[in-house]
Structures are given as structure tokens and as C-alpha cells.
Amino acid sequence: MARTGSGIHCGRYTNQPVDAAVVFLIGMRFNAIHRPDRWAPVFTAMPKMLKYLAQRPEVGMMAYDLWFGRTTLALTYWRSVQHLQDFASDREAPHLEPWRAFMRRVGDDGTVGIWHETYEISPGSHETVYANMPAFGLGKAVGVRPVGAGTTTARRRMQEAGTGRQLTG
């Protein structure tokens, strides 16, 4: 696999076959930028959770990427919905207490928005392509391989994902 010194996979790549995974998007929005007393605890909770998860692959998170702005975004990939839910409800993990603190301190006062979306990936329900990119997204979570025979179009990658095997021709 051709890679540059900066970790970029040159050419076109797709993800390795995957039977199932979960895409979990989560973030916050600064609604009152002048109120760091409200948003700072929320903002600083996510890096602690991601560090915890990165150090414990058995918990089920496979990979993540972050974007910052007025609305922040963490794109995460999980082994299953059950893994995600188990983490969210684990009293020993760094999620429940920040969630409860948010509800106590901020609640519905409108100063900070939080959001998440969960999507299950099943065979035939996804396809990926990366061109001249470092490890990213689902490919970062499960690995990548060059686009080749049977994976040159989005339609073919969807078909391959549905069969769980590499197509030819």
C-alpha cells in the first residue's frame, strides 16, 4: 500500500469488509459563548471520555475523529450498539457523571446544546472511498485496501458489502 511520510494513502482506497459497526456522532454547540462557566465543563468532558475509550479497546470504540467550531463534532465508530450503550451506562466510565452534571448545571437553560446520532452499519448498507487520505472514518476503524476489480464504483462497493465477500470483474 503506497503511503507518504505523512501517513497519506496515495490513490483510491475503500474500507476492509465489515459485517456490522455503529457510527456514533456526538457534539455540543456554544449557544452563549460568553458563558464559559456553562460550556467549559461540557467541552472538557469529551477528551477525557475519548482518552478512556482509546486506552480500552475492549469497551468497543474502534476509532474517532474530532472537529471544533461553534458546533463541535466527534465522529466515532463502535463494534455494536450494545458496546455504546454499555459505555454510556457504566458507573465506572467517564460518561454518566458528566451527563448528570450537565443536567444539573445547564439543563434546559439554552446556554449549551448537546446532540448525538447513532447509525448501525449492516451488510449492504454502506460503502466508502478515500482518495489520497490518511486513515479516516470507517477505514480508520477497520482498515483500508486499494480500490480494485469489483470495487471501482459506489454501486459495486455496496454490492460487495451486501455479500460480505470481494467481488471480481
* Residue that the C-alpha cell 479497546 belongs to: 57
**In terms of DSSP bridges, do strands 9-15 and 144-146 run parallel, antiparallel, or are they unpaired?**
antiparallel
Tell me the pLDDT tens digit for each residue of 105-122. Answer: 888 899 999 999 999 998
Q: What is the mean pLDDT of residues 42-59?
A: 95
Least confident of 23-32, 62-71, 77-86, 120-129: 120-129
CATH class of 21-121: alpha beta
pLDDT for residue 162 is more than 90: no
Domain ranges of the chain: 9-18+123-160, 21-121
